[in-house]
Structure 1
Amino acid sequence: MLRGLATISFWAADLSAAKNWYTELLGVEPYFERPGYAEFRLGDYQHELGLIDKRYAPTGSGTGAGGAVVYWHVDDVNAALGRLLSLGAKEYEPLTERGVGFVTASVTDPFGNILGVMHNRHYLDVLGARR
């Protein structure tokens, strides 16, 4: 039933600032924009990260960080965490060893969204099998 990530959506009260922050973090401009929305493609599988003006959030959406944490694979969690913190993100969950080949950390971006980073050996196995 679930075949893969299509788009991860983050809300931002200041969409322009969020777009600039994520452009700085990712090193690429959004590939698609329309009023109230900007979308980046990133990573080995070109997954989509969408930034949406918070005024379009569904009725009843929470105002604080919460919900599911989506983890993006990175080669070096410590370095990724350091970069995120240097850009103004706040630690949500510290660097945590989850077992051999699995390390996670997460931050709250300046717009209140939780962004997880993870070194995941299964991700690398799947990527290697595709090549």
Structure 2
Amino acid sequence: MSDSSTQGVKTILHPVTDLAEAKRVYTALLGTAPMADDTYYVGYEVEGQHIGLVPGGAQQGMAGPVAYWQVADIEAKLAEVTAAGGTVKDAPRDVGGGRLVATFTDPDGNVLGVLQDS
């Protein structure tokens, strides 16, 4: 096995239908204002974890929250999980600032994410 261990789940994205309403609830829950606040995404940094709200996420194929495992090499990790029986759902894509994200499914169809910062 290569040295492509994860750094843990550091990002969880939640699909939302009403971003303003969801922002009020998550701000109350987390006890802090969002660090990223736009019409296409609201994100919070809390205790080393990033919580994101994705409007229209359900239309993008998000059936529920997706946990993203932080990795050093997204391509290597995807190769490992597919060799072990996972299936790539969304290939790596740059979501800004050199951050790459991808999703895959486990043998039971659960969606998992991997994230690499540049």
TM-score (ref. length: structure 1): 0.41
Q: Which structure has the highest helix share of the two?
A: 1
TM-score (ref. length: structure 2): 0.45
